[in-house]
Structure 1
Amino acid sequence: MIGRIRGLLIEKSPGHVLLEVGGIGYEIDIPYTTFFHLPEQGQELILHTHFSVREDAQSLYGFAARLDRDLFRLLIKVNGVGPKLAVGILSGLDAAQFIRCVEGRDTSALVKLPGVGKKTAERLLIEMADRIGQLEGQFVAGLGSGEAQPVKSTSSHEPVDEAEAALIALGYKPQEATRAVSRVAQEGMTREELIRLALKNMIPTT
């Protein structure tokens, strides 16, 4: 099991990073909540990881906070929730927000996530209610005390278009993505800021 990885950030995009460790480049899938905390390319990055092996694929998933990684591991144990859906859930809600949803029995926030219908949301609340105690100690101690600090992107290549494309890749319909980004877009905002605010407005956090 690969539980933690440290190296140079070679490439980054919403949902993926390429991390060089000892001359080897590791392709790592990440949720958007981790993407917001990435440093600039060429800088050192530490990720908490989960290595998934299936008959048809081997995938490495990375998270800025150990709490998010540990929640990911609990999510994929839920009936009907695979790694892809778990990453989607953690792209819309970080671990702290998800814990609040479970504690508050809040299905409304969950059903707004791509791929999560009413039945899946109810199943998540039921099954995770018994498991969330495994995470609450970390939650109370403080989230993402962290290896990675938020750093704004300096990219100037059409951040609105890139933000919309990122939301579409996450599973939102093009019309929903365009509408969500247009509601929050202001001159000078980066792609990361647009995605973060668009998701915040689409998904209640309380």
Structure 2
Amino acid sequence: MIAQIEGKLTSLTPESGLLKVGPISYEIMLPGYAVSQLAGQINSDVSFYTMQYLEGSPGGGNLLPRLVGFLSEAEREFFHQYTSVKGMGIRKGLKSLTLPVATIAGAIESGDEKLLKTLPQVGKRLAQLMIAQLQGKLEGYAVGETTAAGGGGGASFANYQVEALEILVAWGEKRAEAMELIELASNKHPDVKSAEELVPLVYKIKQGTEV
């Protein structure tokens, strides 16, 4: 089993990265937040903590080996628990992880069904199952979680910050950059507690007009 792999990141897609290790290139499936954080590291050396699984139907005789990568060992451990929820497979789990692990773990621990429902492919029923099956098991991931890529993974976002993030991403902003700007705007204006107030402040900071 390949538990960790290091090489040059040569390309990224919304779902995976291509890692060149010597003369061999490996396709590494990635969660959404990792793709965003790695966007500026093409042709740089990166390291992934990995897990392997077989995709397909055993009865069909068409099983394909897949390699999944994470930016830290803790994120990999979180994913093992995250995908233990009934109805949350590997593919769905990776697509749904568009926010940092700490934010999602914090939402599960606090019973924040509203935030969980904003994740891709997570509806009301699955959000409820995640809370029912994992609440009380993820405290270690919800507090002080950081990523190897740096930035964008510290404290959990509040509901209004998550709402602002989804608005910015929908308007074409890169997720990792939007998260950094939201944290900066929130630190500068701790009295702001709504997405409607926060989004304009983010754009002012980005344009250099916010003082």
Aligned residues: 163
CA contact (8 A) 2:31 2:70 kept: yes
CA contact (8 A) 1:85 1:115 kept: yes
2:35 aligns to what? 35
- TM-score normalised by structure 2 residue count: 0.66
Partner Cα separation in structure 2 for residue 49 and residue 37 of structure 1: 17
CA contact (8 A) 1:66 1:144 kept: no
Structure possessing the higher radius of gyration over alpha carbons = 2
Q: Would the alpha carbon gap of residues 60 and 84 (structure 1) be closer, same or farther in structure 2, given more than 3 Å must change? A: same
Match of 2:128 among 96, 102, 122: 122
CA-CA distance at 1:40 after TM superposition? 2.7
2:145 aligns to what? 143
CA contact (8 A) 1:181 1:194 kept: no
Q: Once structures 1 and 2 are overlaid, which stretch shifts more, 2-11 or 64-73?
A: 64-73
Q: Would the alpha carbon gap of residues 45 and 78 (structure 1) be closer, same or farther in structure 2, given more than 3 Å must change? A: same
> In the TM superposition, what whole-angstrom CA distance separates every residue of 1:169-191 from its partner, at most 9, and x where no partner exists?
xxxxxxxx999533xx5xxx668
Task: Give yes or no for the alignment of 1:107 onto 2:113.
Answer: yes
Partner Cα separation in structure 2 for residue 108 and residue 43 of structure 1: 37
CA-CA distance at 1:69 after TM superposition? 1.5
- TM-score normalised by structure 1 residue count: 0.67
Residue 42 of structure 1 aligns to which amino acid in structure 2? N
CA contact (8 A) 1:181 1:195 kept: no
Q: Would the alpha carbon gap of residues 196 and 27 (structure 1) be closer, same or farther in structure 2, given more than 3 Å must change? A: farther
> In the TM superposition, what whole-angstrom CA distance separates every residue of 1:117-175 from its partner, at most 9, and x where no partner exists?
11111110111125325xx1x654x42352x346xxxxxxxxxxxxxxxxxxxxxxxxx
> In the TM superposition, what whole-angstrom CA distance separates every residue of 1:8-38 from its partner, at most 9, and x where no partner exists?
1111222211001131110011112112222
What are the ranges of 5 or more consecutive residues in structure 2 without an aligned counterpart? 152-165, 183-194, 196-211
CA-CA distance at 1:62 after TM superposition? 0.9
CA-CA distance at 1:196 after TM superposition? 8.4
What are the ranges of 5 or more consecutive residues in structure 1 without an aligned counterpart? 151-176, 202-206
